[in-house]
A and B are shown apart, each in its own frame.
Chain A
């Protein structure tokens, strides 16, 4: 068995913490885990493509996912979901997009407008089995006081829909270890996500 998750977003959004969270949950279940965080210069407001791969040690060895081979792409930022199509293909990949645009400063400097969500999904569709869009960061802000909780909500959502083959309890335990300071709110955010996912919103 082999499962390939890609997280993508902007430096400072908590992408790396989410990677650690999911990787820990996979480890709790006894999977062999690999992955990589592509940061450095990009940490400062740039794109951070991040990978988590788990399954049997025989099948998983490269730290990065092969082109067109992600099972699940979790995009914390809509524009970055489009650029993540490099790792996606129609027969295999499900996209879950956080509808929380972080407009790059270059939109103003180069005078390029930020696309609407329907234009974004139109660009992604040829690469996606399914596309789900949620307002997770807005919810995080509204319910828990910060957009950062949107990350745990998203993890809950993908688990609730059944897109991430990991047990809820493993994820809860991983959240407790990974975010000890804001544990209570993060667990609540995860539960909220689970519920939203289970309600199965219509995929776009």
Chain B
């Protein structure tokens, strides 16, 4: 694996992989994380190499406990790390601020990946740079995979030097970008430590709380003074207009300026909290104008405005006046801003080109993401809709099943955050007479789905929502990471799986378990549960079919295959239009002729659900040939 290659070698790494390598070069000994894309490849890479390298790695049941476990290790003198996506940080947030006060003993790096444009997130475009200002913790921001490695390593050193957790923030286009990386030497991890009682360090009670707070303020000042000038960089250039930027925006600025044949001075802010006042005022003092280029919130821009009041009151400051305060940027969004500021044209009209593209792609079939062929969730959605109809409120949650938002299901009426489907449903049930079904995945259930059920029992709504746990045995959405119900740990050790139905019973709810692949079983269980009054849960259990396929392949076995009997098929289209399995293809042999439905043997994963729903009994199993 490239991430473990020899020092001195140049390899191509994903930003997230480079972060792992940086941590290995810093001798990280303890890593705990809950997966969340775009950060998922950080824990996935650790999971693959942990045993080989000799460090401890775990998939924790959520980001909060992951942060807490890593804190415990860092307090005990073992270099520790945790990672999460931006919303994951919301979950961990409760435990974070006090750790800024207490500090740590060994280096502790908190990696967080923001997702502007929502490539992997259907909730919000939150900018976690605000968080570190509230937490009062330092934050480093790399611009490319090489810096991912370098700054992770550096973050451990700063953390240990000042005894404070250090944030490493990426965005999707850094975490998921690849780049050439020169490797350094890895350090043998230290994995054992000892917690030393120390009231002066750990007691966060009044009045000692203020003592710790004062210490923290001084620490931040010291970090700003020591690293503010050293870490941020100025690239000399010509003219009185300067660029101030950080993160992936630096990469866009560099290339956009090259394309336009411009060479203004650039200030690259790598330590984005605390930002060095000295560095910024030194850069802006002799400028007539600056352009602050950053995605999402105007955090650098506001800082520059504040500093300019003293350092250069006449400075013209551009930023969000030229670019949107939402979405991610790319070359074609930033170039027009540079064109405006410098009065130079590239010669490509992006808007005209976009119009030509739109007209060329007009009327094409959309290709929205879909549930995979053989997905157990599709079968569950189909059965629930049969029993509950279109009027029922369908609460969504975070996982593959979010794709139930699209046609033909339209069964995710809202999606808030992990476990929130069941939580919001309680309020709807209390104030309305509507039927509510809340979907939640297995990993999401263990992560944040249990508290709402406990609340159902305690504050009984009379007619409670039905919670459907979609149990596919794995955290599928983020790339098949195990969870407490999977039966093995992040390091591949076998453990006793936690049964969801046992937890549900203990929380006081009535529970039925059904195979997700049996329409008959699902139907029976749903009918029974529909009329029950108290807290009620259906566990719809069916392994992620991609996982099943992998296991079959490993054993040299093939999955069953189904076929549509064209003699019996009446072209009703239920299998394609209502079940919407991508393996079922509608085609017309002649233009304008009768449609023909068939099953694509390349992608059919043999779940047999189409066979069960075909009203004509036209779908049957066939023998699979070859691979």
Contact = CB atoms under 8 A, between A and B. Distances in A.
A64 B333 CA distance: 12
Interface string B153-181: 00000000000000000001110111110
A44 B176 contact: no
Contacts of A147: 602
Given A44-B370, A104-B368, 13 more contacts: A37-B176, A39-B120, A44-B371, A45-B367, A58-B258, A64-B330, A67-B353, A89-B353, A106-B367, A108-B586, A114-B587, A124-B360, A126-B360
Contacts of A97: none
B353 to A, nearest CB: 5
9 contacts: A34-B177, A35-B177, A41-B403, A45-B367, A59-B255, A63-B144, A64-B173, A104-B370, A127-B356
Contacts of B403: 41, 44
Interface in B515-566: none
In order of increasing CB-CB distance, the 8 nearest A-B pairs are: A40-B120, A46-B369, A63-B177, A108-B586, A66-B331, A45-B370, A108-B576, A145-B627
B366 A68 contact: no
B288 interface: no
A2 to B, nearest CB: 10
Contacts of B372: 12, 44-45
B369 A66 contact: no
B586 A107 contact: yes
A62 B331 contact: yes
B18 interface: no
A15 to B, nearest CB: 13
Interface string B12-50: 101000000000000000000000011000000000000
B365 A35 contact: no
A66 B364 CA distance: 23
Interface in A144-168: 145-147
B180 A61 contact: no
B576 A11 contact: no
B432 interface: no
Contact of B178 (A36, A79, A85, A127): A36
A151 to B, nearest CB: 14
B576 A109 contact: yes
B360 A41 contact: no
B122 interface: yes
Interface stretch (B94-102, B197-205, B246-254, B467-475): B246-254
A68 B349 CA distance: 10
Interface string B69-111: 0000000000000000000000000000000000000000000
Contacts of A124: 360
B354 A86 contact: yes
B588 A113 contact: yes
B402 A67 contact: no
Contacts of A104: 365-368, 370, 582
A27 interface: yes
B361 A83 contact: yes
A183 interface: no
A23 interface: yes
B580 A41 contact: no
- Contact residues on A (Cβ < 8 Å of other chain), bracket: 35 or more
B12 A109 contact: no
A201 interface: no
Contacts of B176: 36-39
A24 B335 CA distance: 30
Interface in A92-142: 103-110, 112-115, 123-124, 126-127, 141
A128 to B, nearest CB: 11
A24 to B, nearest CB: 6
Given A47-B367, A62-B255, A85-B360, A145 B626 contact: yes
A77 to B, nearest CB: 9
- Contact residues on B (Cβ < 8 Å of other chain), bracket: 35 or more
A41 B581 CA distance: 17
B187 interface: no
Interface in A46-62: 46-47, 52, 57-62
Nearest to A83: B361
B348 interface: yes
B356 A126 contact: yes
B370 A46 contact: yes
B616 interface: no
A103 B627 CA distance: 22
| B144, B178, B627 interface centre (most CB from chain A within 10 Å) | B178
B12 A61 contact: no
Contacts of A86: 353-354, 357
A195 interface: no
A47 B361 CA distance: 14
A155 to B, nearest CB: 16
A172 B600 CA distance: 32
| B370, B371, B588 interface centre (most CB from chain A within 10 Å) | B370
B360 A45 contact: no
B130 interface: no
Contacts of B354: 67, 86
B371 A109 contact: no
Nearest to B1: A177
B361 A123 contact: yes
| B121, B144, B407, B586 interface centre (most CB from chain A within 10 Å) | B586
Contacts of B172: 40
A34 B627 contact: no
B350 interface: yes
Nearest to B11: A27
Contact of A82 (B119, B330, B361, B595): B361
B10 interface: yes
Interface string B206-232: 000000000000000000000000000
A114 B586 CA distance: 10
Contacts of A19: 178
A27 B576 contact: no
